[in-house]
Each structure stands twice: as structure tokens, then as C-alpha cells.
């Protein structure tokens, strides 16, 4: 005997297909569930935003944790798309709403750095490069530096064995130069008043010179290579010696009688690192003011931080950029400046 089957309103003849798909779509963002799911994700998103917004309040008392975080602070932004994907998979409106905070924090901190701020009108090009004490071919690095056509070049991590190759390779393009310890300055314009600068290391890794520009203007140039930092399990971020050297360098720059002062070098720290405030608080970063992107310079194989700096006061940076690899573990950085 044939039997008749009654179907519920809204159900199709195949409840396993059209009806179930419609049910899933209707239930995808059920109000009673989408705000309850993903609470842990929402908490993580809020914490991420607070860490970025309040990074300066994270203390350095334990392992210099604050400075370590600030060194790689832009990379926290990678957590945002990860949390976004998980929030969508969890169908959590709460987590998605909470992501507004870290997005706002990251854009507020770094949004201006991802735009091109380069201008025109520079009348001096400067460059700085940590050439690496273990550089296998200093002569080739010297040729790369000459090809940059910079007017003033600072080099760090010079060794006694490699120094003759740099002197010979740069002599024709840069008739004026001075070397103090492991740092040097090469210039197309005359240098005067050259001297070492004591940055409390026990040996010389900083110098100061006066450059006379083509129009007769004079400005002071500091070349510095602050102590290296390390991340150790038992000690955290070992940056105390670098911090002491930064304080000494900041004092020397603040006391300089010249109104126009430039700093070129490997500071082993970023502009975000509060421990470099004795220097960064009184000078402008060429990359920050006139660069395109973050300008990461280290390590050369996969740059993750901008620790090679061009900074100045009394002068205007017009354009800043990162140069191609020369075989060092650092990338050289350059800037066009209006003096």
C-alpha cells in the first residue's frame, strides 16, 4: 500500500541536502552562540593590543624584556591575521570585535612607516655600513660602497687585516678619511677636528669629525658601533653594556658645539628601544622621517630589525633607503639630506 509522508514546512524532499544547507547557513552565526564562542581568542586579542599600546610600560628589570620586545615590536602584527583566521573558523563575533584593538594599536604605531615618505631637494648623500669583521671579500664591499656614490660613508667593524683593502678601494672616490679603532669615516668633502669618542667600552668604537660641505657649511658627524646584544636563556636580553654606551654617546652629542649634527652607525638597537633614548630623543631618524617601509637592515639574509641608523639634528632628511647586500651580515643604509 502506498504511504503518504507529510513534510515539515521549509523542508525539501531531500532533508540531507537543501534543507540541511539552509539550516547550516541560518545557524552559522546564531546570536546565542557567536558571542559565547572564542572567549579565549578575544582575551588573546585584547592582550596583544595592550602589549603594543603599553610596550613602554613593560619593565626592563627582568632580562631587559621591554627592550627585547621593542626591538621586534612591528612583528607582533603577524599575530593579527592568525587570530583573524582562527576567529572566523570558530565563528566568534566576540573575537572578531576584540581584534579591533590590536589592529588600531599596530596602525597607530607603524601605519606611517609603510608609506613612502621620500621627498626631493637633498644636497648630500650619506651611508653607513657594518662591513662585518669576518667579511670574506672586503675589496668587493669597497667597490659596492663606491658604486653607491654617497658623499659621506661610515664603516663599522673594521679589522686590521681588512682595513688596507678598504683604504685602497675607497681612496680614489673619497680623498678624505679617518679611522679610530674599528670605525671609520670616508668623505668627498674635507674633514677636520677628528677624534675618538669615549662610549665606555674600554676600546675605541666611536669617532667624531667635522665635515665641510660644498657650500662651506660645516656639520659634525659621529660614527658609532654600540656593543652587541644577545638573547640568553639564563640572562635574557643582555643589553646593559650597550645601554651604558648609548648614554655616553648621547651625552657627547648633546654637548657638541655644532648646531648641525649627524650620527651614522650600528647602534644594535631600533628606534623603538627605550634604552637608546639618550640618543633618539634628541635626533631624527632619516628612515622614520623620509623612508619607504621599515628599512630593516639586519640580518642581511632575512632582515628583521633596523639596527643600522642614520640620525640627525639641525638637518632635514629627504629620502632614506636600504642598499643591496655586499656580503656582510648587515645591509648598508643610505639617506639623502638637505643641509
Q: What is the pLDDT of residues 166-196, one digit of tens each?
A: 999 999 999 999 999 999 999 999 999 999 9
What the block records as the C-alpha cell of 247 is 648614554
Please say whether the beta carbons of 216 and 194 come within 8 A: no
Query: 67 phi and psi, to 5 degrees?
Result: -65, -40
pLDDT in tens, 78-130: 999 999 999 999 899 999 999 999 999 999 999 988 888 989 889 999 999 99
**Percent of the chain scoring above 90 in pLDDT:** 77
Neighbours of 134 (CB within 10 A): 10
Three-state DSSP class for residue 314: coil
pLDDT in tens, 141-162: 999 999 999 999 999 999 999 9
pTM here is 0.85
| The predicted structure's pLDDT at residue 240 | 85
Closest CA to 242 of 206, 281, 286, 195: 206
| The predicted structure's pLDDT at residue 236 | 54
Amino acid at each position: 500500500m502506498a504511504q503518504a509522508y507529510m513534510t515539515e514546512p521549509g523542508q525539501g524532499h531531500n532533508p540531507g541536502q537543501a534543507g540541511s544547507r539552509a539550516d547550516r547557513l541560518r545557524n552559522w552565526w546564531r546570536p546565542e552562540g557567536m558571542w559565547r564562542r572564542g572567549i579565549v581568542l578575544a582575551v588573546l586579542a585584547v592582550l596583544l593590543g595592550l602589549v603594543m599600546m603599553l610596550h613602554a610600560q613593560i619593565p626592563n628589570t627582568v632580562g631587559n624584556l621591554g627592550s627585547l620586545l621593542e626591538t621586534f615590536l612591528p612583528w607582533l602584527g603577524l599575530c593579527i591575521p592568525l587570530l583573524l583566521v582562527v576567529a572566523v573558523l570558530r565563528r566568534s563575533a566576540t573575537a572578531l570585535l576584540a581584534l579591533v584593538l590590536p589592529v588600531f594599536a599596530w596602525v597607530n604605531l607603524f601605519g606611517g612607516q609603510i608609506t613612502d615618505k621620500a621627498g626631493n631637494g637633498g644636497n648630500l648623500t650619506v651611508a653607513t655600513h657594518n662591513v662585518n669583521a669576518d667579511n670574506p671579500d672586503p675589496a668587493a664591499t669597497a667597490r659596492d660602497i663606491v658604486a653607491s656614490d654617497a658623499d659621506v660613508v661610515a664603516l663599522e667593524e673594521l679589522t686590521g687585516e681588512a682595513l688596507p683593502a678598504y683604504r685602497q678601494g675607497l681612496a680614489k672616490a673619497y680623498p678624505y678619511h679617518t679611522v679610530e679603532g674599528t670605525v671609520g669615516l670616508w668623505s668627498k668633502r674635507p674633514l677636520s677636528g677628528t677624534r675618538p669618542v669615549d662610549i665606555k667600552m674600554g676600546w675605541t668604537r666611536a669617532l667624531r669629525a667635522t665635515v665641510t660641505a660644498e657650500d662651506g657649511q660645516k656639520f659634525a658627524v659621529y660614527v658609532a658601533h654600540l656593543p652587541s646584544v644577545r638573547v640568553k636563556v639564563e640572562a635574557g636580553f643582555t643589553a646593559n653594556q650597550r645601554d651604558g654606551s648609548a648614554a655616553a654617546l648621547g651625552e657627547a652629542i648633546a654637548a657638541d658645539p655644532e648646531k648641525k649634527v649627524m650620527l651614522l652607525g650600528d647602534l644594535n638597537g631600533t628606534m623603538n628601544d627605550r634604552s637608546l633614548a639618550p640618543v633618539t630623543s634628541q635626533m631624527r631618524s632619516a628612515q622614520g622621517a623620509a623612508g619607504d617601509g621599515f628599512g630593516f637592515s639586519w640580518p642581511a639574509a632575512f632582515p628583521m630589525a633596523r639596527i643600522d641608523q642614520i640620525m640627525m639634528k639641525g638637518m632635514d632628511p629627504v629620502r632614506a633607503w636600504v642598499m643591496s647586500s655586499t656580503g656582510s651580515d648587515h645591509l648598508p643604509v643610505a639617506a639623502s639630506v638637505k643641509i
